[in-house]
Amino acid sequence: MEMLRSPRGKLAIALGLLLLLALALATAAGATSAATIARWVLGGSAAGLGVWMWHRRGNQQRARFALPGRLQVHARAGLSPRCSLALVEADGERFLVAFGEGFATIRRAAAPRSAPPRRTPRGEGPTLLHATDESGGAP
C-alpha cells in the first residue's frame, strides 16, 4: 500500500484500472478475440511486474538509516576575539582544539568522568513509617 502514498503510484494504479476497463469494453463489444485480450493482459502484467521490480530496486539503493557524522563539535567557547576553544569528537575519539588567526593546536581530551554518587545527609533519605493502632499499645 506504499504505492498509494505517492502521486506517481496513484497515477500508475489509475492507468492500470483504465486499461483493464478498456479491455473489458473491447471484449464486450466483440471488437477483439479472447486470445488477443489474453495477450494484452499477459503483456500488461509483465510490464507491471517489471515496473514494480524497478521501483523496488531503486528504493533499496537508498540508505535505510543515516550514519552518524564522523566529526561532531560538542562544545565551543570563545577565549578572546581572535582565539577559541572547541571540544570535537572525531571517529569516536575526543579532542580539545584551540584555534585562532594563523594557528591551531589539537590535544587528545581526557575521557569524560561520571558524576560521583550523590550523598544525602542524615534524615533526608527514605524513611520507614510504622502503623500503630489508635490506643498506642500492642494489639
Mean pLDDT of the chain: 77
Question: Which of 47-56, 87-96, 129-138 is predicted least confidently?
Answer: 129-138
Distance CA 87, CA 72 (A): 9
Domain that holds residue 84: 71-108
Q: Do residue 25 and residue 6 come from a single domain?
A: yes
> What residues pair up with 107 in beta bridges, in sequence order?
96
Query: Are residues 82 and 100 in contact, defined by beta-carbon separation less than 8 angstroms?
Result: yes
pTM over 0.75: no
Q: List, in order, residues 6 or more apart from 78 with CB less than 8 Å away.
A: 84, 85
Q: Do residue 33 and residue 9 come from a single domain?
A: yes
104 part of a folded domain: yes
129 part of a folded domain: no
Q: Do residue 50 and residue 92 come from a single domain?
A: no
pLDDT of 48-85, one tens digit each? 888 878 877 766 666 566 666 788 899 999 999 999 99
